Amino acid sequence: MVLAACLWLAGCAGSLENPERFGDGGTAAGFVCPSLGVPAKSEVIAKKCVSGCHSASVVASGLDLESPNAGSRLVDVSTTACPPRVRVDPIDGGTLQELITQASPTCTSSMPPGGGLTNSEINCIVEWTRNLADGGTE
């Protein structure tokens, strides 16, 4: 009976029905894109943007999307290719959004080179950058 009372007082760690009871707010995998239902950074950014271009070791256009705190290198940060524009702007999306959504962007070329993003992946990246611009988790 004492054991049962202790377990009752301790409570449980949480479940999918109440992710806020987990220590990280239920977001250990980072921001989950509403459009795809997957973690943006590990399932879209890492697979479509990091490999060969924007990794910690290959920093194309001065942009590392692989290392932690990508938002600090994106939100309200001037681009190296299109100054004085910023990579992610909370109002118009910034150059990153333009580069992944436009076939002929106003500055530099569309990303990733040669295409390769589905509409759902584009939506996911836009959702991720909006989340970062709002101060959300990576």
Report the percentage of the chain scoring pLDDT > 90. 51
pTM metric for this prediction: 0.76
User: Residue 113's pLDDT band (boundaries 50, 70, 90)?
Assistant: confident
DSSP state of 7: H
Q: Which residues pair with 54 in a beta bridge?
A: 59
Q: What is the pLDDT of residues 40-50, one digit of tens each?
A: 999 999 999 98
Task: Return the structure tokens found at 87.
Answer: 């990579």
**CA-based angle 119:124:126, to the nearest 5?**
95
The answer to whether residue 5 scores a pLDDT higher than 60 is no
Q: How far, in Å, CA of 87 to CA of 10, rounded?
A: 46
The answer to whether residue 89 scores a pLDDT higher than 60 is yes
